[in-house]
Structure 1
Amino acid sequence: MTDHATTDIGRLAAGLADGLIARRRDLHKYPETAWTEFRTASLAARALAAAGYAVRLGGEVVRRESMLGAPPAGELATHMERAAAQGGDPALIGRMAGGLTGVVGERCFGPGPVVALRFDMDANDLDEARDDGHRPHREGFGSVNAGAMHACGHDGHTAIGLGVAEILATLGDRLRGTVRLIFQPGEEGVRGAGPMADAGVLDGVDYLLGGHIGLRAPKTGQVVCGVEGFLATTKFDAVFTGMAAHAGAAPEQGRNALLAAANAALNLHAISRHGQGASRITVGTLHAGQGRNVIPAKAELQAETRGRTTEIDRFVFERAREVVAGAAMMYGVDHEIMVAGRSPSGRSDPGVVAVVRRAAEAMGCFSDIRDGVDMRASEDFALLLGAVQARGGLGAYLLLGSDLAAGHHNPRFDFDEACLVPGVELFARCAMACLNLPPRRG
């Protein structure tokens, strides 16, 4: 990559500033949660096609049989109708029926390595703050979709990804190799990476890049060039089924699912920690019962385990299975455990971290550049990264600094849009640098 080309990347990224902010705010206003990203995905597919990328979507890039935690068919149909009414492309939305909301854009610029960049699109299951102290509400781009909010910056990730697509397409005559841009649904709950990997979107990938706004880098001007470790995680739902009965006249005829779930919730948090690294368990929701004078016949809890390594997470999850089964036995109820998402541990490759550092230093706009941090959280990019590494490829997950109005997954979350242009430039520089590296596979 010539010095002239790198100068052009900065100039082109700066020229996208207004469009990046407008796109981010549009996506923020119409958030869509896991497997319902019909509007977002259709707009991404349309933008990629306009930039000259070969676009695959729907069942071409998401394996239906691998999907976890997808909403029921009726709910998905409602979300498709909403997406079209809110400006999505109806023809493209139709190709994603069933929640197959992944998109891949690819351009081949001649012989060379395959470089993939992954950007997540989904929002959180959260109601956004609606008062004038919250900038998105005050300036008219707060969420209009009840129960959904971009509280983790994925609206910014999608905007950055489409900006990178535009720049690389413009500079195509100076590139070699293949660029593959992966727009992923369902990162929240670590549900989306597995079905896309199972559909073959990583086939032939030599280098993989991903990243996040503001996480572990909460100041504009910071950049972390690679994550040193993700927590492995398993998300699960436990359903307890007992027998309803009159709470006053015949309580002995009932089997109390609520008490079984409550017992499980308490004892899940009593699972032993692991001596080989950090572990976590959290019961996030518990729903049970229908009336004060009816023995509760059904209860459901949603929980997650995490571990410093995949093995530690597996240990905690297996103990969780035992706790749930024991609680069900104690109260004479049936139980079922359903895995709703999972992702392994992982770490960035030093060689790609060095690529990111060189690109960040060359830009001259970052005041704080660090090689790595421990993520202390989970991200299903780790699944994609591990799959690429298992086939001989390399990858890294960078953290783009941004001032934050509130923490991630908070109703008042908002990030500094000044990070968008540097984000586009950094990813574009890293992609071009990786295209000039030797292929890792065959």
Structure 2
Amino acid sequence: MNIVELRRDLHANPEVGFTEFRTATRVVEELRRLGYKVLFGDEVMRPSSRRGVPSVEQLTVAYERAKAEGANEEILAAMEGGLTGVVATLEGGGAGPTVAFRFDMDALPIVESHAADHLPQAEGFRSRHEGSMHACGHDGHTAIGLAFAETMTHVNFNGTLKLIFQPAEEGGRGAVSMVDKGVVDDVDKLFCFHLGLDLPIGSMSGGATDFLASTKLEVRFKGVPAHAAAAPEKGKNALLGAATALLNIHALPRFSTGATRVNVGILEGGSAPNIVPDSAKMVLECRAASYEDNQDLERRVRSILEHSAEMHGLDCDIAVIGEAATAACDRELVELAMREAKEIPFFTEQLESHPLGASEDATFLMRRVQEQEGQATYMIIGTTIAAPHHNEKFDIDERILPMAVQLLERIARQTLR
């Protein structure tokens, strides 16, 4: 398996959360070819636990596109409606622990750069799906996962190797549905990782800190339309109610117990300047360094939304479209990862921790494993990046790909004994 070619193919065909139909079917095909037991679709996801699922129209367009691009239709049928998770297991020669590795697959809704100095443009693997882009390195994560899967078929080990290919990490939308389906309930040790995140190539961190818990909400305000001049008193202004909520959400106090964030990212409504707006849509998020603080912050945000609606005589519907928790990495796994990296000359710096400073829904997988008396860590594997994460010119130094596979293999050998 040529890992660079694989990563470039995935980069050229990015798919956003819950539409990873081509990507996930390819993952299934490769894993089956390698002899893994593979489960996918509703076998590894609880549909009702997904957050921020795209519209039926968006899902249908992506599904048909994947079919037109040659995706295996037998596999594709089980993923219809956005059930794009994949879990594979490989049994060792004797009894032992279950050790899992998690890889995210989704892209972002970003138009990729056409600049001549952007390597994917220059080398011919820029996104073919205009408006979608692998701008966070998940194409590299998936390629690493498949190359690692191949490597482990040549390794003698005990226990069970479990590979989790997760959809919809961006926005914190996919992990909960896999947790609720029980995919990590048998896991003794879980390793998650991310490329980049401000660590240079040659550096790695055995664990991450500063996860921010997050809740993302989509809010619909419903009022009554009226003529803005002839009968404004007969209307109920949904946009005004939403604006009231926006100002008060941003006026919430910070917490003394830890960092908190709120942000209304989208506010839209109305249809004409002479009509009292009868509908408005708001999309917002809250974040906190503590899971408990984020729950409290979310409660306060919901109170503002509901009372702003009531103040203007509106109906208000609130939906959770994404969430993430906080998590702590287990020291034993952190130290193990550092030791194994030290045995690879490429990794010249091994750090005990590195701040994430953002949200990651792998935290739900980690917390479930730890609740079941298992251990988990979230590693950061450094690589030079051409631009910041989530930027139109983002790209990774592909030299890290085989080195990351080598690191995961060494970790697997040490834990599956």
Query: What is the TM-score normalised by the length of structure 1?
Result: 0.91
Matched, 1:162 2:146: yes
Checking the alignment, whether the CA contact within 8 Å between 2:127 and 2:133 is kept in structure 1 is yes
Which one of the candidate residues 391, 400, 414 is aligned to 1:419?
A: 400
Alignment of 1:36-435 (within 5 A): 36-109=19-92, 110-171=94-155, 174-217=156-199, 219-435=200-416
One-letter code of the match for 1:201?
Answer: V
The ranges of structure 1 where at least 4 consecutive aligned residues each deviate by more than 3 angstroms after the TM superposition are none
Q: Distance in 1 between matches of 2:306 and 2:179?
A: 32
Offset at 1:144?
A: 1.9
Checking the alignment, whether the CA contact within 8 Å between 2:192 and 2:378 is kept in structure 1 is yes
Q: Distance in 1 between matches of 2:279 and 2:349?
A: 52
Offset at 1:429?
A: 1.1
Q: Distance in 1 between matches of 2:46 and 2:276?
A: 41
Checking the alignment, whether the CA contact within 8 Å between 2:354 and 2:380 is kept in structure 1 is no
Percent identity, aligned pairs only, is 43
| RMSD (Å), alpha carbons | 1.3
**Number of residue-to-residue matches in the alignment:** 416
**Residue 236 of structure 1 aligns to a residue in which SS?**
strand
Checking the alignment, whether the CA contact within 8 Å between 1:30 and 1:86 is kept in structure 2 is no
**Residue 8 of structure 2 aligns to a residue in which SS?**
helix
Offset at 1:322?
A: 1.3
- Which region of structure 1 is more displaced relative to structure 2, 121-130 or 355-364? 121-130
Q: Distance in 2 between matches of 1:356 and 1:411?
A: 32
Q: Distance in 1 between matches of 2:87 and 2:135?
A: 24
Checking the alignment, whether the CA contact within 8 Å between 2:30 and 2:146 is kept in structure 1 is yes
**Residue 170 of structure 1 aligns to a residue in which SS?**
coil
Q: Distance in 1 between matches of 2:113 and 2:263?
A: 25
Offset at 1:329?
A: 2.4
Q: Distance in 1 between matches of 2:229 and 2:393?
A: 45
Q: Distance in 1 between matches of 2:273 and 2:3?
A: 52
Checking the alignment, whether the CA contact within 8 Å between 1:242 and 1:297 is kept in structure 2 is yes
Checking the alignment, whether the CA contact within 8 Å between 1:216 and 1:399 is kept in structure 2 is no
Offset at 1:62?
A: 0.6
One-letter code of the match for 1:40?
Answer: T
1:352-389 C-alpha deviation (Å, 9 max, x unpaired): 00110011000011122211023211101110000000
Q: Distance in 2 between matches of 1:233 and 1:49?
A: 36
**Residue 133 and residue 293 in structure 1: after superposition, are their counterparts in 2 closer, same or farther (change >3 A)?**
farther
Q: Distance in 1 between matches of 2:269 and 2:23?
A: 34
Offset at 1:203?
A: 2.5
